[in-house]
Amino acid sequence: MTKVRDSSLDFTEVNRTSSKFRYSIELLRKETDLLNGCDRNIAKYFFINNVCDLEDKSPENVAGLIKYRFFKKQIYTWTGQTLIAVQPYERNVQKKVDKDNDPNICSVVSRAWFNLSNRLGKINQCIVISGDSGSGKTYSACVALKYLGTQPQICDLEILNNVLYKTWSSVSLLAAFGNASTFHNTNSSRFGRLIQIQCRNGKIVGAFIRTFLLERSRVSGPNRAETNFHIFHQALCGVDESTLENVYLSKKTEYKICPKIAHHPYCSYSETLKAMKFLQITQIDDILCILSLILNLGNIDFAVKDEKLIIPQDCKQYVNFCSKILLCNTTSLSQLLLKRLVAPRLRKASLCYTSCVNVEECQERKNSFMRFLYDSLFHYLVTTINNQIFYEKEHDCLGILDIYGFESFFLNTFEQLCINYANERLQQYYIQDYFKKQMNYAYEKYEKITKFDLSKYNERINLLDGSLSVFGILNEECLVKRYNTDIFIGSRLSNSLSKNEFFIARSDSRNTKFSIKHYAGTVEYDCRSMVNKNRDKIPEEMILLLNETKFEFLRQVVSSRSEDIQYLQGKTLLSKFKKSLDNLMATLDKADVHYVKCLKPNQKQIGNFFDEEYFIKQLEYNGIMDTLKLEFQLYSIVIAKNEFSRRFGDQILEELKYLLKGKVYVGKDKIYFSENSFGLILKYQSILMLSCVRRIQRYWKAKYKKRNQAATKIQRCFRRSSQMNRSKLNDTLDSTLDGITVIENVNFKSEITRALEDIEIKSKVPSRKMFKGDRIVSRQRIAQVPVRCHIKKTCIPFSYVLPIQETPSGLIDIF
């Protein structure tokens, strides 16, 4: 029998469904036509978003798949558990995510948050975003933060306003103070950053920002074709002339550490000002004064006259500006720059000043002063932000690590050595972490555990920070009190490390350059000024001046770092940086790490151009090709058997091997799931739980209904009984009163016998139980106080006395 639908049906949903169906058919037809008409080499990439699904995993084939997706505006691709993000060099690319497991930054964040909230794996989770300079790491970190703010189930409105919005604002503020334009990237991060999102009971409760190695040497002057930190250009371009005059700056003046450029793409001072106001940083004029102090110090030069070091006359105005900002004497500031404090070791009470040796020493003292001022201001801003968003109670963390990328310029100095060392440590951790997971997987499969050769990664790290290493020699030269030239440093490095296969020494003994074979390629370094930068020591007399200055905000900024200065006094910058990276690695060890590899399609930084040869090189030196063939990559979620039994029970464990064959592996102590298979288990678990909830609700609703029906029945019977009793009471009272004959004209003083003469009393015994008390019979309980019963129209003498013969029959209480 055919079922006919009602003609009054609303066809809106039908039209919507049919339109979707027609669109799907049309899209499928286009894909089919493209599939039939295109090259077979391209056709094999259709419907593939994970490199592990390729039959041929050669570098050319992997690059071909990513290239195919790149030109389809799909910049994200899975390579097992690692996400590859290709820098598109254009805006508005792949914003839509159709499914939870589609390759996207949001999918990585969702997986990390899922593990964190469900207590899968380690207590903390961390997303490590790595890649070369200019590959889009900071942008990916911002996308991850914004995604967390769009999830109402993990972030309420108060946390969104007080924590996440301030964290987003801190990204733009720290970018102004910590980013600069380099040869490879116009907005390059010159510091590392770990944003720790703090959560408790599945909800975001706070955040904390850790920074690593701000490139302070850039303050004293950037390299050629590069700029200083954005904030200097923003202040000189975005602040009005009158405000600049108040802080002793001018747009017409040429500042040596911040040369004028034709167009600065990141000079929006208004955005930085907006972020500072949102973060409740109100000392904007004071911050401009510190920036002005650094800019004016940069214009001070030194010269030799009559064998004495002096400050030229044309630089005296800048000394005057600096002294006005510091609220100190001009002579004291000049003496601070030209002379150094000498304190004998055995007689510290006797202090004296002596002139600097040469102009270079004066320049180095001035540069160290400028670097210290800017570094203190940067850390003051970070501390101020953390004080507003930090959650002090016990919590778990979801970390997002955005650290500077690998760099290789025409001239590579101390900063590039530190940056590339940090990338070497991260690359070593990435490879060791993946191979350790593969060894655990082999153990669970009862297979022979294969030991992987990681010697080349370890040897490179030992070359940089081992006992006999580049860091060791530079640190030793800083601690030894002797005059050493850059040529001597280069010669010592070459003689000590020439036998290492990853170190390339120059044949010329007077050359200051050497090369290191990094994982990403060979980089040539120049050791000039490396020792001076590594000392990282500000003269004590300068710290004394800053602590005693009348500029209250500057004194507050410097005092915020007083503990760090005392603790790190005498330590080199390389030793501090190594210590901070050791702490970072310890943090990663306590977390499950999710990797995002940001790659560049070409070196020219232009859109719609894919250099396949250059891209294959990135795949290889980033370790993607080495880890791609590891079998455990198929399983992104690992859970212990006892934990699985606690969550899902023991009965389902044996059935999983057959229901999800190929998508789940049950090992000795752990169970390996693909993301889809574990999601399927959770889906059916939620369906089963919903069914159980409905069954429980159905049972209690039936029981509640039955209780209501019983209560209604009892109430109905009680009301009916009450009504019947009331009617019986009325009948009894009426019959009793009708049986009493009233005697008229009775003298009050006559005898009792005469008063009761000819009285006929009729009584009716009610069917209800009676209460008998002190000579009273009643339907209700007898009162404790004496009760008198008067039934009269006139006063009856001795009416309170009942005849003895009438007592057994009783008298109904009318009250």
Binding site membership for ATP: which residues? 131-138
Nearest residue to 759 via CA among 746, 770, 743 = 743
The C-alpha atoms of residue 362 and residue 319 are separated, in whole angstroms, by 14
Question: Residue 305: CA atoms inside 13 Å, Cβ hemisphere, count?
Answer: 7
H/E stretch holding 39 reads: none
Angle at which helix 316-326 crosses helix 330-338, to 10 degrees, equals 110
Rounded Cα gap, residues 413 and 302, in angstroms: 25
Identity at 350, one-letter amino acid code: S
The residues with which 481 forms a beta bridge, in sequence order, are none
Task: Please state, as a whole number, how many other Cβ atoms lie within 10 Å of the Cβ of residue 160.
Answer: 16
Spatial distance between the Cα atoms of 628 and 80, rounded to a whole number of angstroms: 7
Polymer length in residues for the chain: 815
Q: Which of 141, 37, 44, 29 is nearest to 85 (CA)?
A: 141
- Please name the residues in contact with 536: beta carbons below 8 A apart, sequence gap of 6 or more: 368, 571, 572, 573, 576
Dihedral through CA 494, CA 497, CA 498, CA 501, nearest 10? Answer: -140
Known binding residues are 131-138
Map residue 303 onto helix, strand or coil: strand
Token digits of residue 362: 């004066």
**Alpha carbon of 258 to those of 187, 230, 242, 268, 318: distances in Å?**
16, 10, 20, 16, 15
- Virtual CA dihedral for 268, 270, 276, 277, nearest 10 degrees? -170
Using alpha carbons only, what angle is made at residue 252 by residues 176 and 377, rounded to the nearest 5 degrees? 30
- The structure tokens 């005693």 sit at 548
Burial of 378 (0-12, 13-18, 19+ CB in 10 A): buried
